[in-house]
């Protein structure tokens, strides 16, 4: 079996990077970060997805052996992606807690009734 060289890894990353764009040069959504739900996407989740897509493409760019793009440093993109993910997770957690306090959750049996001693 042929050992994997640095050049092989760079070529593989370059192919993956070029496949992340369509024929017109517009970025395609990365498959594991695509929004597949039927209802509308929350704004914070959309922002996190944009940062995650940018981070994935930047990592591929750096793996290709190219220098970091001017104004787009990998560490700053990682920080922005992490911050956006945490903001979305916090909003999601608050929405879930609010739902569990609602009458709908109580009627569906997902939360105890007010004053119920379970």
How far is the C-alpha of 105 from the C-alpha of 116, rounded, in Å? 14
How far is the C-alpha of 5 from the C-alpha of 19, rounded, in Å? 21
Q: Which of 11-15, 29-33, 46-50, 64-68 has the highest mean pLDDT?
A: 46-50
How far is the C-alpha of 76 from the C-alpha of 97, rounded, in Å? 32
Q: How far is CA 79 from the centre of its chain?
A: 13
Q: What is the mean pLDDT of residues 30-42?
A: 77
pLDDT in tens, 59-95: 888 888 887 777 778 889 999 999 999 999 999 999 8
Confidence of residue 11 (pLDDT cuts 50, 70, 90): confident
Backbone angles phi, psi at 60, to 5 degrees: -60, -40
The pLDDT of residue 114 is 67
């Amino acid at each position: 079996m042929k050992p994997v060289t640095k050049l092989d890894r760079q070529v593989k990353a370059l192919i993956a990077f070029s496949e992340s764009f369509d024929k017109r040069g517009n970025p395609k959504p990365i498959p594991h970060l695509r929004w597949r739900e039927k209802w509308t996407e929350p704004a914070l989740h959309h922002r996190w997805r944009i940062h995650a897509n940018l981070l994935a493409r930047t990592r591929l760019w750096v793996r290709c052996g190219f220098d970091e793009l001017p104004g787009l440093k990998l560490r700053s993109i990682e920080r922005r992606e992490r911050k956006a993910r945490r903001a979305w997770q916090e909003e999601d957690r608050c929405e879930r807690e609010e739902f569990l306090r609602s009458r709908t959750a109580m009627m569906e049996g997902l939360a105890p009734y007010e004053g119920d001693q379970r």
